Amino acid sequence: MTPTLSPTAPLTALDRCDRCAAQAYVRVTLSAGGELLFCGHHFREHEARLRPLAAEVHDETGKLAEPAAPVAAPHD
């Protein structure tokens, strides 16, 4: 389990899924205290069981659908 920080802080590349260590895109703050971090895959897998236990779910999986920045072509 990841220690609780600011629940409104955006997730960064340093935040890792508590199940597989991939980049976390969802923070679940538990009603009983503490928080869990999940990649999109593991959050979807466990979402039905987590929602009743959650005080807050901070979901940034929308970032996964954002197009990547264009890469500049090398000059000849």
The mean pLDDT values, 10 residues at a time, for the chain of 76 residues are 60 96 96 96 96 96 79 71
State whether the Cα torsion 38-49-8-5 is positive or negative.
Answer: negative
50 belongs to a structural domain: yes
Q: In this predicted structure, what is the pLDDT of residue 26? A: 97
DSSP lists the bridge partners of residue 10 as none
Other Cβ atoms less than 10 A from the Cβ of 7: the count is 13
Residue 66 has what pLDDT? 67
Q: What local confidence, expressed as pLDDT, does residue 7 receive?
A: 53
Residue 68, both tokens = 């990547």
- Structural domain of residue 36, as residue ranges? 26-63
- pLDDT on residue 17: 97
Question: Which stretches of 1-76 are assigned E, i.e. beta strand?
Answer: 26-30, 35-38, 54-59
User: For residue 39, is it within any domain?
Assistant: yes
Number of domains in the chain: 1
50: amino acid identity, one letter: L
pTM: 0.75
Structural domain contains residue 30: yes
